[in-house]
Amino acid sequence: MIRVSVSLLFVVFLTASCSTPGTAPEVRFSEQDRADLIVRYYTDDTSYVLKPQKKDGPFLAILNKDAVLDVAREQPSRELAVVVLIHYGLDSQMEAVKRDWVSRLTEVGYQRVIFLSAMGNMKVNGLPVLASGG
């Protein structure tokens, strides 16, 4: 009887310690159809524009940041830009990248800029939202 009680107490303690009260649930992106621009960003020299899709033959074209901004300027509507980011080793690195994108995209007229955490495929809806700016 004591073993069962101790085991149950351990399970309750373990469950309580794993859940952190006050932590917001992860928000997932669901506005792909509403986005005017979607960019999958790797470096300033390597990005893919997923919407409007920019291709080089049958493949997505690799664009540098200036070329991405040229595409951004061409869009008739500039309500929502989405930047899908890869994982960075340092938070400060990611924050600098986000600040630069917000600055540049709001400069060309975008009202909102949303950052998503990249996954292995090119799907956008369902990706975790990292931040929103603009």
- Note the pLDDT tens digit of each residue in 29-82: 999 999 999 999 999 999 999 999 999 999 999 999 999 999 999 999 999 999
- Least confident window among 5-9, 76-80, 84-88, 110-114: 5-9
8 C-beta neighbours (distance < 10 Å), count: 10
Q: Is 88 helix (H, G, I), strand (E, B) or coil?
A: coil
**pLDDT of residue 98 exceeding 90:** yes
DSSP 8-state assignment for residue 72 = H
CA distance 77 to 110: 8
Residue 23: per-residue pLDDT: 58
**Model pTM score:** 0.79
- Torsion angle defined by CA atoms of residues 32, 111, 69 and 35, in that order, rounded to the nearest 10 degrees: 10
